[in-house]
Amino acid sequence: MSLDRKVAIVDLTTGKIDIKAIPLAVRKQFLGGRGLAAYLLYKYSKPGCDPLGPDNAVIFSAGILGGMLASASARTDVMTKNPLTGLLGSGNFGGFFAPELRYAGFDHIVAIGKSPKPVYIWVHDGEVEIKDAKNLWGKSVTEAQWAVREELGDPDVKCAVCGPAGEKLVRYANVMSGIKNANGRGGGGCTMGSKNLKMVAARGTMDIKIAYPREALEFDKRFIYQITSAKVNQTMGALGTPFIWGATNSWGGIRTNNFQFNQLLNADAIEPEEIDEWSKESMGSEYNMAACFGCQVHCRAKYKIPDTPLARKYGLVGKYDEGPEYTSQGAFNGEPGCPNLDTLLMGNHLVDQYGVDNLEIGSTISWAMELYEAGILTSKDTDGLDLRFGNDDAVIAMVHHICKRDTYLGNLLAEGGIRASEKIGKDSFKYLIHMKGMQNLHSDERATPALALNLALASRGSDHLRSRPAIDLYHLPVDVMRRIYSSPVAYDGPLSSDHTEYIGKPWQVVWHENCYMGVDCLGICKYHTTFLGATLPNFEDWAKVLHYNVGLDMSAKDIWDVAERANMVERLFNIREGMKKDDPFKGEILAERYFTEPCKRGAPDVIGKLIDKTKFLEMRALFYKYKGLDENGVPTPESLKKYGLENLDKEPSRI
């Protein structure tokens, strides 16, 4: 059954491998995926450790429904102390790794210590081995995966890989899987690199017993229909996430030229329909979408890089990849001010092959561009590279330089914005659009206080996938909002349909924080919950999925409590590692420019908007109150007790 999957603690220093069961009581507290990863990271990383040292841990964590009958039950969470921020590092990827890990008998692989030479972890049918990776080290993300399949003689091996950027200890290197499934934002690739761990390879043929097979099949059919009948997912299935970018840019919610503007002009070439047309043309088929395990939304387009002068210069003509996601449009088009399709498709391909976070590298390059135009960086710093906004060639060049660390500036930016700003000095830090030391994605939240609050509170640093109330932009009637936000726990406070308002937003952020933690514990994709569509499944539906598949009977409120508890553990980890609410580097506060620079472009409800600092701080205080935290954002003793976390520091690991 699903609950018999194990945890393997792999000490890369000594080569010792400990295989442990997961007690049912711990399961009920954290389920799996991101929730259990948070617990394991808390227990298996040493407080205050150097993220790049042997005392950090990296946790590969499949959702409790991974590989089972729940739409897109494909997600793996990778958690570590983030080398970029020194706080919680967590990324979540789809594809096929989580199901394979579970078919191989494991839910979680915890890597600690540091190997003296490059190795990989080989997980297969109940066994875990540490194997020599000398033939894999130095290889790109995909080359390494095809090579390990060759070596193991099995084309169905699935991998979680550290790419060349991770080997070079780029602080925002990703763990990658398949062609483009990216464990972004967590720095896990960098931690793997520091441990000389090239990959976790998994292959399994073990049964996962379904508790009520016939009922699970029937329920899943309805569950899928609920997901695929939503217009937002049909659009996603046709155009991928670029449809979000298209809609957001026309409205005025895209960071442009770092943070100077909020809309990219002359961007027709990268409209979602244009990307779709090129995808179909380059693949020679109208069926151009690929999917993660078990998913009927299929949001990844396939494409080949077009023949353009820039693609020829970098030897990338005709290279195959998937995506691009809207985050790559932000990273390679909006933020650096380059509205060209080839730049987007090349940038997207390079980050997939190097294994580096597209959001962070795009934001970092764009930040450097603004510094260059402000005269804070000079051509001496850039080795003569003309780093002005709109220089596509410079953007692609910088991706290479950062991932290879082969120029002064590339090496500097590979350390991330805050460390680089300490070296660069002057006013450089003030230009950095970061929260908790991580740069923001490409979206601009100055017109949307709810979304801005999410950024500041996201446990892994500036990010949209921890608690963004995206449906706040839909102007839902208040009674519809009331129905969503009053379940599974009561809420009778204010709610507002106006996305420019501050009122009622803190509760929305609380609700979505638990919703996204819930879906991450189960290992289901976020597009299959109340993220972009108001009618999509959440707590009540998950209780049924859990029942039919796992045979674990938990109510919607029980799952809410799991999410609340797991979010609290993430918060406790951050506090343990130095988070303080108003700290400019590690705090829960927006970058100052959100409070001082109004939006210059966009629709009437956007133009001129900025975030009111006083109201923002009031929203944050309310969020703390709703979450059972004190005025500093620290869980109160009563809250710790309520969620059974009062002995988290004292007790030995329960796994």
Partner 1 sequence: MEAKALMINHEKCTGCRRCELVCSVYHENVANPSKARIKVEKWEWEGLYIPMSCKQCVDAPCMNVCPVKAISRDDAQGLVSVDNDICIGCRSCVAVCPFGAMNFNPAIKKVFKCDLCDGDPQCVRFCDMKAVDFVDVRKESLSKKRDAAFKISEAKKLGATIQYEG
Task: Confirm or reject binding of residue 6 to partner 1 (CB under 8 A).
Answer: no
Q: Which of 62, 190, 224, 232 binds partner 1 (CB under 8 A)?
A: 224
Task: Confirm or reject binding of residue 98 to partner 1 (CB under 8 A).
Answer: no
φ and ψ at residue 501, rounded to 5 degrees: -80, 165
Give the integer Cα–Cα distance in Å for 169 and 162: 10
Q: Position 144: which residue type? A: A
User: CA torsion, points 491, 494, 495, 498, in degrees to nearest 10?
Assistant: -170
φ and ψ at residue 520, rounded to 5 degrees: -75, -30
Q: Which of 23, 126, 213, 644 binds partner 1 (CB under 8 A)?
A: 213
Piece of the chain touching partner 1 by CB under 8 A; list 215-223, 341-349, 366-374, 498-506 = 215-223
Number of residues lying near partner 1 (CB under 8 A): 40
Task: Confirm or reject binding of residue 323 to partner 1 (CB under 8 A).
Answer: no
Q: Is the dihedral of CA 190, 195, 196, 202 positive or negative?
A: negative
Neighbour-count burial of 613, counting CB atoms closer than 10 A to its CB (0-12 exposed, 13-18 middle, 19+ buried): middle
Neighbour-count burial of 206, counting CB atoms closer than 10 A to its CB (0-12 exposed, 13-18 middle, 19+ buried): middle
Piece of the chain touching partner 1 by CB under 8 A; list 62-70, 352-360, 405-413, 492-500 = 62-70
Task: Confirm or reject binding of residue 5 to partner 1 (CB under 8 A).
Answer: no
| Least Å from the CB of residue 114 to partner 1 | 31
CB 291 within 8 A of CB 206: no
Task: Confirm or reject binding of residue 235 to partner 1 (CB under 8 A).
Answer: no
Task: Confirm or reject binding of residue 175 to partner 1 (CB under 8 A).
Answer: no
Task: Confirm or reject binding of residue 559 to partner 1 (CB under 8 A).
Answer: no
Task: Confirm or reject binding of residue 222 to partner 1 (CB under 8 A).
Answer: no
Q: Which of 33, 83, 294, 504 binds partner 1 (CB under 8 A)?
A: 294
Residue whose structure tokens are 């020679």: 284
Give 140 or 467: the residue with its C-beta nearer to partner 1: 140
| Least Å from the CB of residue 322 to partner 1 | 7
Give 142 or 530: the residue with its C-beta nearer to partner 1: 142
Task: Confirm or reject binding of residue 96 to partner 1 (CB under 8 A).
Answer: yes
Give the integer Cα–Cα distance in Å for 430 and 412: 17
Task: Confirm or reject binding of residue 302 to partner 1 (CB under 8 A).
Answer: yes
Give 84 or 179: the residue with its C-beta nearer to partner 1: 179
Q: Which of 3, 292, 310, 413 binds partner 1 (CB under 8 A)?
A: 292
Q: Is the dihedral of CA 557, 559, 564, 569 positive or negative?
A: positive
Piece of the chain touching partner 1 by CB under 8 A; list 61-69, 394-402, 439-447, 621-629 = 61-69
Give 544 or 580: the residue with its C-beta nearer to partner 1: 544
Query: DSSP string covering 236-287, please?
Result: HHHH-THHHHHHHHHHT-B-BTTTTBSS-SS-GGGSHHHHHHHHHHHHTSS-
CB 565 within 8 A of CB 643: yes
Q: Which of 82, 142, 327, 508 binds partner 1 (CB under 8 A)?
A: 142
* Interface with partner 1 in residues 430-489 (CB under 8 A): none
Closest CA to 190 of 322, 61, 93, 50: 50
> Token pair for residue 29?
């507290």
Q: Position 115: which residue type? A: S
Piece of the chain touching partner 1 by CB under 8 A; list 12-20, 292-300, 323-331, 536-544 = 292-300
| Least Å from the CB of residue 571 to partner 1 | 34
Task: Confirm or reject binding of residue 346 to partner 1 (CB under 8 A).
Answer: no
Task: Confirm or reject binding of residue 540 to partner 1 (CB under 8 A).
Answer: no
Closest CA to 242 of 200, 274, 198, 286: 274
Give 229 or 636: the residue with its C-beta nearer to partner 1: 229
Give the integer Cα–Cα distance in Å for 79 and 460: 10
Q: Which residues bind partner 1 (CB under 8 A)?
A: 67-69, 96, 99, 103, 142, 146, 155, 178-179, 204-210, 213, 216-217, 220-221, 224, 228, 283, 285, 287, 289-296, 298, 302, 320, 322
